[in-house]
């Protein structure tokens, strides 16, 4: 499966797109993304789809610096838990070391390397293959964001010695030079920020060591599982999109940067199908929401049913009792019964009772 990135990367996109006279919702939809993903800070989206969104937006706006303009909105918070750990390190060297280590937890498509040579340090950025296009604005946004984060630690007047990009130069480089405050070179061997080694010793003040410890444990756990299976990646997107009514196999596959047939093949290799994952996530959400006391009509809508009757029939097939009876069971009894069907049967929508967007794929 392809690379995923946390939905925070969408932060500021809609505002910038509208300021340029674009329709961000339509552009996002064309790339297979939903701007509503921002509402879930733990959601992940396709890195390829996000890169395509940036390229298409720049083309629609007829500008060569869309990625840099979006980078101007970036701060340490864009990295979530990774930013918390960086902020609590003793110096810039340790902070960048944490960024290099944990960046794949935030963005699977990026790889950072920190190297020193003759009193100059290079923070090199590698963008993994995202398709048959040049992810120019994705690259510039990413390196620009790292520049902004370093400036957050070293002060508002800090600038690198020079900045290089692998891709060709745009027609107008003025915003690039103004943004970085130094020479910017294109068609070079690496995407990199170059600055004095002495900057690595700049101290960073502690603010909440306990919070940093928690964030580090969380990142270590996530780092161990960053090579998530196809099933887990599909499950996460289904969990995100099921309440929106747009959770189709084609939609999920597009967000992962593959076609629907490839997604089915990946899932089959792991002993699953799209329908089995969809059904399992639906059962997980339904059980939790029913126990939470929400009206059944609302629960039915959230998990993708057009009415409570169809939802109740499906629920009974999954758990052996109707939703009202489920609420009255003890936690132990619910845990014993919580074994939803994994083969995709019992989906409850074979007779046209479900919303079209969640109809099982052919």
**Nearest CA-CA partner of 193 in 234, 223, 135, 154:** 154
Contact 260, 361 (CB under 8 A): yes
Strands 184-185 and 162-164 turn out to be: parallel
What is the reported pLDDT for 17? 97
Burial of 236 (0-12, 13-18, 19+ CB in 10 A): buried
Indicate whether 353 pLDDT > 50.
no
- Tokens 């101290």 — which residue? 203
pTM over 0.75: no
Specify whether the CB–CB gap between 255 and 222 falls below 8 A: no
For residue 175, what pLDDT band results from cuts at 50, 70 and 90? very high
C-alpha separations of 54 from 33, 94, 170, 267 in Å: 12, 31, 15, 29
CATH 1.10.10.60, the chain: domain bounds: 230-358
Task: Give Dmax over CA atoms of the chain in angstroms.
Answer: 72
The pLDDT confidence band at residue 361, using thresholds 50, 70 and 90, is very low
The domain defined by 230-358 folds into Arc Repressor Mutant, subunit A (1.10.10)
Distances, alpha carbon 91 to alpha carbons 85, 95, 326, 356, in Å: 12, 6, 54, 54
Of 131, 91, 140, residue with least CA distance to 114: 91
As a whole number, mean pLDDT of residues 336-343 equals: 51
Is the pLDDT score of 291 beyond 90? Answer: no
pLDDT exceeds 80 at position 243: no
Query: How many residues would you count in the chain?
Result: 362
Contact yes or no for 71/144 (Cβ under 8 A) = yes
What H or E segment, with its residue span, contains residue 253? helix 249-255
- Do the beta carbons of residue 312 and residue 276 sit within 8 Å? no
What was the pLDDT predicted at 344? 39
């Amino acid at each position: 499966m392809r690379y995923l990135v946390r939905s925070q990367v969408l932060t500021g996109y809609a505002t910038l797109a509208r300021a340029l006279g674009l329709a961000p919702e339509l552009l996002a939809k064309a790339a297979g993304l939903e701007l509503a993903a921002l509402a879930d800070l733990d959601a992940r989206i396709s890195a390829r789809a996000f890169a395509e969104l940036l390229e298409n937006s720049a083309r629609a706006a007829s500008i060569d610096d869309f990625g840099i303009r979006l980078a101007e909105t970036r701060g340490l918070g864009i990295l979530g838990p990774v930013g918390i750990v960086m902020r609590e390190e003793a110096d810039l060297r340790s902070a960048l070391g944490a960024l290099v280590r944990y960046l794949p937890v935030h963005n699977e498509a990026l790889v950072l390397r920190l190297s020193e040579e003759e009193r100059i340090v290079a923070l090199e950025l590698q963008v993994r293959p995202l398709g048959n296009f040049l992810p120019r604005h994705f690259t510039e946004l990413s390196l620009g964001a790292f520049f902004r984060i370093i400036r957050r630690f070293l002060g508002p007047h800090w600038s690198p010695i020079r900045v290089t990009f692998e891709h060709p130069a745009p027609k107008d480089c003025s915003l690039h030079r103004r943004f970085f405050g130094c020479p910017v070179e294109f068609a070079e061997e690496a995407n990199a920020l170059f600055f004095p080694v002495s900057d690595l010793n700049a101290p960073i003040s502690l603010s909440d060591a306990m919070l940093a410890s928690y964030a580090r444990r969380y990142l270590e756990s996530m780092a161990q599982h960053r090579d998530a299976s196809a099933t887990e990646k599909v499950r996460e997107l289904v969990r995100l999109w099921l309440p929106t009514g747009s959770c189709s196999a084609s939609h999920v596959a597009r967000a992962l940067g593959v076609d629907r047939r490839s997604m089915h093949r990946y899932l089959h290799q792991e002993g699953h199908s799209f329908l089995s994952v969809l059904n399992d996530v639906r059962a997980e959400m339904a059980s939790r929401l029913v126990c939470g006391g929400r009206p059944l009509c609302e629960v039915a809508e959230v998990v993708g049913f057009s009415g409570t009757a169809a939802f109740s029939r499906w629920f009974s097939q999954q758990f052996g009792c109707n939703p009202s009876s489920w609420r009255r069971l003890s936690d132990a009894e619910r845990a014993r019964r919580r074994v939803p069907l994994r083969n995709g049967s019992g989906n409850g929508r074979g007779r046209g009772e479900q919303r079209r967007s969640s109809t099982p794929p052919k």
